[in-house]
């Protein structure tokens, strides 16, 4: 019984450490993206790091845009429009190795 409990505690500890790393990585990507976008808009706080989630491929942290923030216009810069080519700031930040 004690061995099972110990393994369970280790599993919880490893999961907690992994979540901490994901959170830290999300914050770093967010900060790099905000820095990249600073020349486009002052409202870079629209770029947010959200909660950790899980899908079929594993756990992840979502970094994206807060739609209610005036800086959401940065999304249009990221993807471009029919009249303006994209000027990515989030994708290059996500492509960097931050952990």
Cβ neighbours of residue 57 under 8 Å, at least 6 residues apart? none
The candidate with the shortest Cα–Cα distance to 38, out of 49, 47, 29, is 47
For tokens 């409990």, the residue is 5
> Range of 85's domain?
2-95
Where are any strands of DSSP class E within the chain?
A: 47-55, 58-65
Structure token digits, residue 33? 């993206």
0.75 cut: is pTM over it?
A: yes
Instruction: Determine the Cα angle at 80 with ends 76 and 83, to 5°.
Output: 110
Our count of domains for the chain comes to 1
Q: In this predicted model, what pLDDT tens digit does every residue of 43-99 receive, in sequence order?
A: 888 888 778 889 999 888 888 888 888 888 899 999 999 999 999 999 999 898 766
Mean pLDDT of 16-30: 91
């Amino acid at each position: 019984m004690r061995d099972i409990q110990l393994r369970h505690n280790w599993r919880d500890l490893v999961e907690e450490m992994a979540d901490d790393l994901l959170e830290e990585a999300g914050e770093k990507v967010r900060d790099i993206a905000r820095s990249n976008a600073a020349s486009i808009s002052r409202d870079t706080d629209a770029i947010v790091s959200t909660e950790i989630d899980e899908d079929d491929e594993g756990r992840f942290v979502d970094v994206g845009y807060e739609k209610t923030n005036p800086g959401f216009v940065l999304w249009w810069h990221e993807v471009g429009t029919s009249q303006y080519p994209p000027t990515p700031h989030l994708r290059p930040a996500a492509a960097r190795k931050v952990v």
